[in-house]
Amino acid sequence: MSASVPSAAAPPRVLTVAGSDSGGGAGIQADLKTMLALGVHGMSVITAVTAQNSVGVQGYWELPADAVRAQFRSVVDDIGVQAVKTGMLASVELVETVSELLAGVQAPVVVDPVGVSKHGDALLAAEAVATVRERLLPVATLATPNLHEVTQLTGIEVERESDMPRAARALLDLGPCWVLVKGGHLEGEAVDLLYGGPGEEYWYRAERYDNRHTHGTGCTLASAIAAELAKGRTVPEAVGAAKAYVTGAIRRGFPLGAGIGPVDHGWQWR
């Protein structure tokens, strides 16, 4: 007779609402790898399927809004969530659908306003940018735009570190509780600014590694923040822990295919 084994307690639950990356470096795949690495249970709502590899995005196909809504309700109504992260939403209809769903969630929401892939391929329809601005950002606990997305959303071009506070204030005016302006494309240290209003300004700095294999960095950071929020960390604590994790992943990014390889989501285990 086999011995009975007591059930283990479930880890914190985190839901990613994003597109699939067939190459495995970004999107849903990066999100779930990050969540596993950080000790939470990852779940997914797939919004789009991409044909994607190390050299670019060859195409993408959105899922119907009903399919996105059904996936979301299936997970949230039965299993529940302790944090949500959004990524590629692709179209006006999907941004509207996801914004409506998130408005009813009593958990932190990390919005990564994905507009363009690492290779420069558009992942958000131009006409959907206004919908992200008007519908999605107001339901975000934290928005995590890169500098291109900052410009896309606010019109402000961040060319140096001193431009970041003005951009953060403009983004906060769009409705999220917190904003993380990611300065990874600037020269010098890898610096990010977290801003939650007057008196709530936090700077995070890390060594910049000379490694071109950085595919999936934004997805990974946003998912790591969501994982840490699900564990009960405050927003500033979660960003600090996530920054440390993604810095290690960038340092260990590896070549894959003929182009830009992914960050190493399992770097802590190797």
231 is catalytic: no
Marked catalytic residue, from 216, 240, 253, 261: 216
Q: How far apart are CA 14 and CA 45, in angstroms?
A: 11
Residue 231: both structure tokens together: 């564990």
| 3-state class (DSSP) for residue 142 | strand
Q: How far apart are CA 259 and CA 213, in angstroms?
A: 8
Marked catalytic residue, from 33, 85, 118, 182: 182
Marked catalytic residue, from 24, 42, 115, 218: 218
243 is catalytic: no
Residues 23/257, Cβ–Cβ less than 8 Å: yes
DSSP per position, 172-231 = HTTS-SEEEEE-TTSSSSEEEEEE-STT-EEEEEEPPP-----BTHHHHHHHHHHHHHHT
16 is catalytic: no
Q: How far apart are CA 218 and CA 208, in angstroms?
A: 15
218 is catalytic: yes
216 is catalytic: yes
217 is catalytic: yes
Marked catalytic residue, from 27, 86, 219, 220: 219
What amino acid positions are annotated as catalytic residues? Answer: 182, 214, 216-219
